[in-house]
Homo-oligomer: A and B are copies of this chain.
Amino acid sequence: MRARIVAVGSELLTPFHVDTNSLAITERLNDIGCQVVGKAVVGDDVVEIRRLVEAAIGAVEVLVVTGGLGPTEDDVTREAVAHALGLPLEIEEAIVDRIRRRFAMRGLAMPEINRRQAMVPRGAYVLENANGTAPGLCVEREGTLMVLLPGPPREMTPMLEAVIRDRLAPASGGMTLARRVVKVAGMTESDVDTVAQPVYGRWTSAGVPIETTILATLGQIELHLTARAADRAEADRALGTAASELQAVLGHAVISVDGRSLEAVVGDLLRAAFWRVAVAESCTGGLLTSRLTDVPGSSDYVDRAAVCYSNRAKTAWLGVPSTLIAEHGAVSEAVARAMAEGVRAEAGTEVGIGVTGIAGPGGGSAEKPVGTVAIAVVSDGETRVRTCRFVGAREQVKDQAVRAALNLLRRMLLGV
């Protein structure tokens, strides 16, 4: 089953609001194996809404429209759908009574304009709204079920549940969509695709077909896998096998196959190793430690961090010799290493990290341009050091440096 979602509301076309109703709708539709193939946002505009309704008829099995069912003149979803279907709009007195009773419960008389909410395209099925005055509507045409729901989530959600339970689930044939996210670090999008495509390319025609999307952000690639199967267990089994196949070809570049973040994975590895970590940051300005401590319970393994923006601080707190800074420069592998060793010795932890670099926009040179970052991870008997050149603005350089440092620590913990 395929669905489209339309959100109606002029405020959703300003720079300030996104449509979030569609996320909850998507989740519930996916649960019964119904895939959302398109979403749209339009203003309170009868022509535009009608155009979208007409385009959906016969093209998808489900069209969910939210919003525009209020009592005021700019609420035109009912009219637009009736026009699209060539059906007359008729007032249903039973609905008027229900709305009137709702007002009466709060000691109020129903304003005359609320009669508009009782208008129903002839033959439509009415969905009761337990939490508001606007009833929902269902109409079927050419194999497309159109479901009109009010915009406020508190009203919309229970009505959607009822439609799914009573109309869509019985028609869905019992299929389900399940998802899994595989995260990869330290490879470019093209490299990941070159290696992974021969694997995921086969899945679309498998017994349980799996679709794959690659999402690239700076310093991290995600593969989103979606399986369609008769039940959840079967879909999950297929996704588990698929994730293992990706791991087999991508190796230790795979951070997680269950959506866990890099910092959560590093945290689990630190905890499993009974290691505590101390951090010395310069260009990342505290972001590395903030990321590490975004994980609940991270106080178990994060001991302390020194953010040393001045060379004076590097020397006084971390014992980095000023001669070393003079000789190699503050941004150098030697200084990154001395920072990691210094903070580790100071804190008495099993592992120390040092990061020093040029986040920009100023401070670059021909030899060490903006984006140059030296990273060191030091544990008992092992030191890993690397120098990276990141592209992007200040915040992107910081972000990539944080990911690279976490990944270096992850690989040390894995011994790979």
Contact = CB atoms under 8 A, between A and B. Distances in A.
A35 B43 CA distance: 11
Residue from the set A10, A111, A398 with the largest chain B CB neighbour count within 10 Å: A10
Interface in A284-327: 284-290, 292-294, 296-299, 302-310, 312-313, 316-317
A244 interface: no
Nearest to A222: B11
A360 B12 CA distance: 32
Contact of A309 (B114, B294, B303): B303
A18 interface: yes
Interface residues of A, number: 105
Interface of A: 9-16, 18-20, 22-24, 26-27, 30, 35-45, 48, 51, 55, 70-74, 106, 108, 111, 113-114, 131, 152, 154, 179, 188-191, 193-194, 197, 211, 213-218, 224, 226, 279, 281, 284-290, 292-294, 296-299, 302-310, 312-313, 316-317, 346-347, 359-363, 389, 391-396, 398
Nearest to A179: B14
Nearest to A73: B197
B70 A391 contact: no
A14 B39 CA distance: 11
18 contacts: A10-B213, A13-B39, A15-B24, A18-B22, A37-B42, A38-B41, A74-B213, A106-B391, A111-B191, A285-B292, A285-B293, A286-B289, A286-B290, A289-B307, A298-B309, A304-B308, A304-B313, A306-B317
A43 B38 CA distance: 7
Contacts of A226: 14
* Interface of A (DSSP majority class): mixed
Contacts of A190: 71-72, 111, 113-114
Given A74-B214, A154-B393, A394-B296, A286 B303 contact: no
A180 to B, nearest CB: 11
B285 A281 contact: no
Contact of A389 (B36, B51, B106, B310): B106
B37 A45 contact: yes
A307 B309 contact: no
Contacts of A360: 296
A18 B51 CA distance: 23
A306 B306 contact: yes
Contact of A18 (B19, B111, B303): B19
Given A42-B37, A189-B70, A302 B292 contact: no
Residue from the set A299, A359, A361 with the largest chain B CB neighbour count within 10 Å: A299
A126 to B, nearest CB: 21
Given A72-B193, A317-B304, A154 B396 contact: yes
A290 B213 contact: no
B37 A43 contact: yes
A60 B102 CA distance: 42
A362 B296 CA distance: 8
